[in-house]
Amino acid sequence: MSEYSLWNALERASDLNPRVLAVDCHAGQFNYEDFRDRINRLASGLASFYHIQLGSRIVVLAGNCHRYVELYWACVRLGALLVPINVRLSRSEVQYIIDQCDPALGVADSEECRARLVTVAPKLPIIGWVEHDQMIDTSPVWEGLSPPATAPMGIFYTAAVDGKPQGAIVTSRNLLAQSLQIGLRLGLSSADGYGNFLPLFHMFGACFAVMSGCFGATNVLPPTFDAPTAADLVREGRVTFFSEFAPMAQRLGDALAWESVAIGRLRLIVGIDSLEVIQRFVKLGVCWFNLYGQTEIAGLATMGEVHGDQDEAGYVGEPLCLTWMSIRDLDGRPLSSGMAGELWIRGPTVVERYWPDRPTRLTVDGWLKTGDVLKVDHGRWIFVGRTDDKYLIKSGGENVYPAEVELVLCAHPEVLQACVVGRADPVWQERVCAAVVLRPGAAVSPEELAVFCRERIAAFKVPREFVTMARIPRKNGAVDRDAVRRLLESEPPPVLPQHA
């Protein structure tokens, strides 16, 4: 695989399926022959007009579109790095990413997104989809040499464990390995259509979009997830599989009225959701795969078919074919079956560095320490929780790191200390909650704290429950998040509205 690159995989898909739709987008449709030509011309235009070359960074602030997928592939072709930015991030969060990665070019799909980039990077050259298409129309086909298979192709910001996100440097080799192991497990072919219901700025969404290209499948691209629109795509037989985070599948099922005649060619779903939702899709004849993954492996480590049974709670499947997994104790020693410990992963999917040159949690012999706690129970890999130093909250598929939110809360003039935890939520799986210690004589309402946070971090990170405490409980010198969570559960405060 060292000589076979991610770009080679797309070339092969194009050679085998020149007339198959590569992208079925709200903004246009292109078969594989034309799609490959567009990518080569885009790469040529980026190199000629904006001097993009091996190692250059391009930030993009946009919704899903075939042009977004073309940008990913053009970066693969050139050896440049695409830096996708979550459109829900605040001004200061966007500023941090741009300041850190020092891009050569910005891409925005609307005047609003362009203005957001201009505000934080006034000297950065910024183009839109019009200029994107003009480069393709006026540029010759790129004929330069392809970069090595190990060349970086993207920086995906994640893991704000210490209060600031880190940019995982994903290589073409990482995504090629992911594409092969996931695509083979799902049995993908050129007859499939992948519903891009997850955003392309998300590692999970980007991984599946690239994988679909490697297997000659069609990337079906609505601008964002909207249940009625997604239901129409499913009914029309354009989508055969999709990936999701709760509550997407629930909303899609409701839009389809949970009728088997409405599911078209839909054959499988990969995602994390409630047992009830899984059961309902399985009854319609759709295969459901649970998973385990993270950005530091550029996608997934496990997958396994489930049926929504009670004994499947926590089950994440089995290791994929290019992934090695081991359960270790605190000293790094392998644990016996049935014992819970930290999951270590090794293989070609493992991301080795954060931008610009900070190592991920790698051991000297190449194992990635994931920070997640799993166990193997009679051959079944079960997710148990997270280690203390990597506590995070999963809300609607978005990662929320308490340390980042706590830093913002403690910046409020009335707040002395803060502890952020996650609580179960019937719609979003988890919701963000906060306990605060106010300064002597201070008074501030939950609504005021929420507004303060919303001005500084993305809305999905803003706590929806606040409780005031005299002190934050501690255990063995560290914040006792379990005690804070128990307090919130025993005396639940009012839940603030969810903001987009």
Residue 158 identity: T
pLDDT of residue 388: 65
List the Cα angle 165/366/72 in 5-degree steps: 50
pLDDT, tens digit, for every residue of 282-339?
A: 999 999 999 999 999 999 999 999 998 888 888 999 999 999 999 999 899 999 998 9
Say how many Å lie between the first and final Cα of the chain, rounded.
42
Class of domain 6-288: alpha beta
- Of 349, 352, 350, 333, the residue nearest 341 (C-alpha): 333
Judge if pTM exceeds 0.85: yes
CA dist., res. 188 & res. 202, Å (int): 21
pLDDT of residue 489: 85
User: Are domains 6-288 and 400-490 of this chain identical in fold?
Assistant: no
pLDDT of residue 417: 92
pLDDT of residue 158: 87
Q: List the strands of the sheet with 429-438, edge to edge.
A: 415-425, 429-438, 465-468
Q: β-pairing, 341-346 with 353-354? A: unpaired
- Of 215, 171, 187, the residue nearest 32 (C-alpha): 215
- Of 61, 68, 15, the residue nearest 42 (C-alpha): 68
CA dist., res. 418 & res. 408, Å (int): 9
List the Cα angle 235/219/178 in 5-degree steps: 120
Listed as ranges, residues in the chain with pLDDT below 50 are none
Residue 285 identity: G
CA dist., res. 421 & res. 90, Å (int): 21
pLDDT, tens digit, for every residue of 170-211?
A: 999 999 999 999 999 999 999 999 999 999 999 999 999 999
Answer whether 495's CB lies under 8 Å from 487's CB: no
pLDDT of residue 500: 55
Q: How many residues does the chain have?
A: 500
CA atoms within 13 A on the CB side of 351: 31
CATH 3.40.50.720 fits 400-490, yes or no: no
DSSP 153: E
pLDDT of residue 313: 82
Q: List the strands of the sheet with 353-354, edge to edge.
A: 126-127, 105-108, 57-61, 81-84, 152-158, 166-171, 353-354, 358-359
Q: β-pairing, 429-438 with 415-425? A: antiparallel
pLDDT of residue 476: 78
Peptide bond into 356 cis (omega under 30): yes
Helix (H, G, I), strand (E, B) or coil at 194: strand
CA dist., res. 500 & res. 493, Å (int): 21
pLDDT of residue 162: 65
Residue 307 identity: H
Place of tokens 């790698």: 362
Q: Per-domain residue ranges for the chain?
A: 6-288, 400-490
Which residue spans within 329-449 are E strands per DSSP?
341-346, 353-354, 358-359, 368-377, 380-386, 393-395, 398-400, 415-425, 429-438
DSSP 362: B
- Of 342, 323, 337, the residue nearest 379 (C-alpha): 337
Backbone φ and ψ for 17, nearest 5 degrees, come out as: -135, 55
pLDDT of residue 346: 98
CA dist., res. 307 & res. 317, Å (int): 12
